[in-house]
């Protein structure tokens, strides 16, 4: 008698563990192939479960994409900001931060950011998360600059404007690098941009980081 083989049924897990495995699988998939790769079938194949099970735990794919985006970029932000060294001057700290974000090893996060700006125009759940993460990045960097300025009389820049300029530079160069269009020495350009920002005296009052009045140019406020 001829028999047909069937794929083994997914191992039963407690709901919390299954939910975590689905999120982890989606994060891994997005890191490899970007947010555009996130479909119910693709996530199910990555995790080794049925599409119906993924749909059960995450019934709205647009919201799930937004969740995956937040998981990826918030982890990078926490890591990078935590590396700030209070025992080192602001210029050195910011250069280290910029070099870290521009490192080729972070192209996966840069891809997630670039795709989020495009997909967020049609996916409102994602768009809202993108705006929130941009605000958090900007606020974190503005706070670092403001703290340093309060302790050093020679730092007279506007922390809010400085944060916008630095983040716009990082985002632009990160996006360019994905298609291999970038200066030969990105570190040198980062150093010169940082000098231009920090050596310029403040001439305006701090700008709001509200999502209703933020500049239209993209800023990673991770990649």
pLDDT of the residue at 30: 98
Same domain, yes or no, for 55 and 67? no
Q: Which residues contact 219 (CB under 8 A, 6 or more apart)?
A: 134, 137, 138, 164, 167, 168, 171
Q: Where does the pLDDT of residue 169 fall: very low under 50, low under 70, confident under 90, or very high at 90 and above?
A: very high
Domain membership of residue 124 as a residue range: 62-223
Residue 8 has pLDDT above 70, yes or no: no
Same domain, yes or no, for 189 and 134? yes
Same domain, yes or no, for 54 and 67? no
Cα–Cα distance, 209 to 143 (Å, whole number):
12
Q: Where does the pLDDT of residue 206 fall: very low under 50, low under 70, confident under 90, or very high at 90 and above?
A: very low
Count how many domains the chain has. 2
| Alpha-helix runs per DSSP H in 48-200 | 51-57, 61-82, 90-102, 107-119, 124-151, 159-177, 186-198
Q: Where does the pLDDT of residue 198 fall: very low under 50, low under 70, confident under 90, or very high at 90 and above?
A: confident
pLDDT of the residue at 27: 98
What is this structure's pTM? 0.84
pLDDT of the residue at 218: 45
125 touches 63 (CB < 8 A): yes
Burial (Cβ within 10 Å: 0-12, 13-18, ≥19) of residue 125:
middle
Residue 29 has pLDDT above 60, yes or no: yes
Question: What one-character DSSP code corresponds to residue 7?
Answer: P
Same domain, yes or no, for 120 and 18? no
Same domain, yes or no, for 30 and 115? no
* Upper half-sphere CA count for residue 166 (Cβ side, 13 Å): 34
Which carries the bigger pLDDT value, residue 8 or residue 187?
Answer: 187
């Amino acid at each position: 008698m001829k028999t047909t083989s069937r794929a083994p049924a997914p191992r039963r897990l407690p709901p919390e563990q299954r939910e975590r495995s689905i999120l982890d699988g989606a994060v891994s998939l997005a890191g490899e192939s970007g947010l555009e790769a996130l479909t119910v079938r693709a996530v199910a194949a990555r995790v080794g479960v049925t599409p119906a099970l993924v749909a059960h735990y995450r019934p709205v794919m647009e919201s799930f994409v937004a969740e995956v985006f937040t998981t990826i970029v918030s982890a990078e932000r926490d890591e990078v900001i935590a590396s700030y060294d209070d025992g080192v001057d602001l210029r050195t700290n910011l250069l280290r931060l910029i070099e870290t974000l521009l490192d080729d090893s972070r192209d996966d996060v840069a891809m997630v950011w670039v795709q989020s700006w495009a997909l967020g125009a049609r996916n409102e759940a994602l768009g809202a998360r993108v705006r929130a993460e941009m605000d958090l990045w900007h606020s974190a960097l503005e706070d670092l600059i403001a703290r340093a300025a309060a302790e050093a009389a020679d730092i007279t820049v506007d922390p809010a404007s400085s944060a916008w300029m630095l983040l716009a530079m990082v985002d632009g160069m990160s996006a360019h690098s994905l298609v291999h269009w970038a200066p030969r020495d990105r570190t040198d350009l980062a150093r010169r941009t940082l000098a231009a920002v920090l050596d310029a005296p403040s001439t305006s009052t701090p700008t709001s980081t509200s999502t209703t009045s933020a500049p239209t140019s993209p800023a990673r406020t991770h990649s």
